[in-house]
């Protein structure tokens, strides 16, 4: 049984508060709703599908924008579908990429079925074994402050598995139009010329 | 495992079709090249790795390259994805990124399971590849002759980066040469 104390909404709120020029990719489901609850932002790309690809999307972005900090916020189910991407990321050693997995040990959008982390899969250990510069299990508010510091200043690739409570938070949905989400992100990052590419 | 390269009557430039594809990636400002390797892509992968201006990303499975390309485009960079046809099936759900969001996607796919294939396990996915890509919303262009490598890849790059969609070059197994595990052709 999970003895998690952390509230996912409060964790994400703390991580995205005064985010500066942070670029964010949010994995599908609750993680995307958490990021939206912290404030819909043009430089957050919330996924509504493509399960398993949030982290590699963060990698492509981090490689394209080496001077910007990139954060992927996703869930344990989404992460489990793309475990191989941790090896792909570690091989590139992107210093500006951090991954935060909000681990409630459940598939939250489909009926709260247990994920593999409920049976003991240690995602942080997987990331470390793949070659991440740092991979930590986070259980307390005090540790969340260190995650925030890592996201903004740490030498990546960084991985934080944050154990969170299973409570369902109210739905706070981001825009659903993928073309719009893509275009507003590019315009906010690159400027008006993005549409002329 | 050696792949036998069939002799072509075409000139040396055309025979270097991987070099032609590489030149198109350069002229179309592709900054990230990801791949799951295939023997048919050996030279192109080497050319990309030798280029300090390209970020080359080996993948554990092909669909990662579709997520990577979307992230690259968000960040203002173009990406290409190299694979063999057996990897196309792995990509299906990921194709929503191009079909739904309009992320450009340039795929270069070496075909297995068609011309003289000796491994029956390669045949189902190889035969299903063009139709699978079509169902996923990918525009496919078939490359049959080495001398068409440049033009065909340019056409696909335009469809991807100027058409804001997914395009794949399918390189015929006959062009690459049939894998034979050391048997004399």
Is A166 inside any structural domain? yes
Specify the pTM. 0.95
Which residues are CB-neighbours of B22 under 8 A, at least 6 positions away?
B44, B47, B48, B51
- What is the rounded CA–CA span in Å between residue A97 and residue A73? 11
Q: Where residue A172 sits, what CATH number does that domain have? A: 3.40.50.970
- pLDDT 10s digit of each residue in chain A, 197 long? 468 899 999 999 999 999 999 999 999 999 999 999 999 999 999 999 999 999 999 999 999 999 999 999 999 999 999 999 999 999 999 999 999 999 999 999 999 999 999 999 999 999 999 999 999 999 999 999 999 999 999 999 999 999 999 998 999 999 999 999 999 999 999 999 888 88
Number of domains comprising chain A: 1
pLDDT tens-digit series, residues A46-75: 999 999 999 999 999 999 999 999 999 999
Q: What angle do CA A98, A94, B31 make, to 5 degrees?
A: 125
pLDDT tens-digit series, residues B48-67: 999 999 999 999 999 999 99
Is A1 inside any structural domain? no
Is A3 inside any structural domain? no
All structural domains of chain B with their residue ranges: 12-176
B30 beta partners: B78
ipTM score for this prediction: 0.97
A87: its two tokens: 């090896």
Give me the mean pLDDT over the B104-132 stretch: 96
Question: Measured between CB atoms, does B48 come within 8 Å of chain A?
Answer: no
- What is the rounded CA–CA span in Å between residue A116 and residue A106? 8
Is A21 inside any structural domain? yes
Q: CB–CB of A61 and B59 under 8 A?
A: no
Minimal C-alpha gap between A1 and chain B (Å): 32
- Closest by Cα among A22, A60, A57, A42 to A151: A22
Is A85 inside any structural domain? yes
Nearest CA in chain A to B94: A50
- Closest by Cα among B142, B91, B94 to B114: B142
Which residues are CB-neighbours of B127 under 8 A, at least 6 positions away?
B113, B114
- What is the rounded CA–CA span in Å between residue A4 and residue B50? 48
Q: Is the pLDDT of residue B182 over 70?
A: no
Listed by number, the residues of chain A in 106-165 with a beta carbon closer than 8 Å to a beta carbon of chain B are none
pLDDT for B185 equals: 47
Interface test with B, best of A49, A54, A57 (most B CBs within 10 A): A57
Question: Measured between CB atoms, does A185 come within 8 Å of chain B?
Answer: yes
Domain region containing A71:
8-196
* Domain B12-176, second-level architecture: 3-Layer(aba) Sandwich (3.40)
């Amino acid at each position: 049984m999970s003895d998690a104390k952390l509230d996912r909404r409060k964790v994400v709120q703390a991580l995205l508060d005064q985010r500066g020029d942070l670029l964010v990719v949010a994995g599908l489901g609750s993680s995307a709703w958490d990021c939206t609850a912290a404030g819909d932002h043009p430089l957050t790309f919330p996924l509504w599908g493509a399960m398993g690809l949030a982290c590699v999307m963060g990698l492509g972005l981090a490689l394209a924008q080496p001077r910007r900090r990139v954060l992927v916020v996703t869930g344990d189910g989404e992460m489990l579908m793309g475990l191989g991407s941790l090896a792909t990321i570690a091989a590139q050693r992107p210093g500006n990429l951090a991954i935060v997995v909000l681990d409630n040990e459940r598939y939250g959008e489909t009926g709260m079925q247990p994920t593999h982390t409920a049976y003991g899969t240690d995602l942080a250990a997987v990331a470390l074994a793949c070659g991440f510069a740092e991979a930590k299990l986070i259980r307390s508010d005090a540790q969340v402050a260190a995650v925030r510091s890592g996201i903004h200043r740490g030498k990546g690739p960084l991985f934080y598995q944050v154990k969170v409570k299973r409570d369902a938070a109210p739905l706070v949905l981001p825009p659903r139009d993928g073309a719009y989400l893509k275009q507003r992100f590019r315009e906010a990052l690159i400027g008006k010329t993005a549409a002329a590419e | 495992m050696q792949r036998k390269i069939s002799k072509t009557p075409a000139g040396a430039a055309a025979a270097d079709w991987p070099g032609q594809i590489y030149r198109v990636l350069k002229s179309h400002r592709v900054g990230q090249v990801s791949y799951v390797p295939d023997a048919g892509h050996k030279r192109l992968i080497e050319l990309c790795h030798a280029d300090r201006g390209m970020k080359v990303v080996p993948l554990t499975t092909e669909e990662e390259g579709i997520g990577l390309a979307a992230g690259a485009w968000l960040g203002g960079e173009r990406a290409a994805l190299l694979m063999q046809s057996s990897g196309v099936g792995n990509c299906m759900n990921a194709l929503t990124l191009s079909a739904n969001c309009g992320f450009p996607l340039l795929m270069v796919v070496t075909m297995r399971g068609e011309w003289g294939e000796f491994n029956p396990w390669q045949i189902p996915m190889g035969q299903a590849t063009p139709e699978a890509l079509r169902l996923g919303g990918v525009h496919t262009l078939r490359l049959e002759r080495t001398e068409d490598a440049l033009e065909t890849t340019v056409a696909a790059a335009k469809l991807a980066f100027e058409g804001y969609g997914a395009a794949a070059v399918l390189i015929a197994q006959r062009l690459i040469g049939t894998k034979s595990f050391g048997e004399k052709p």
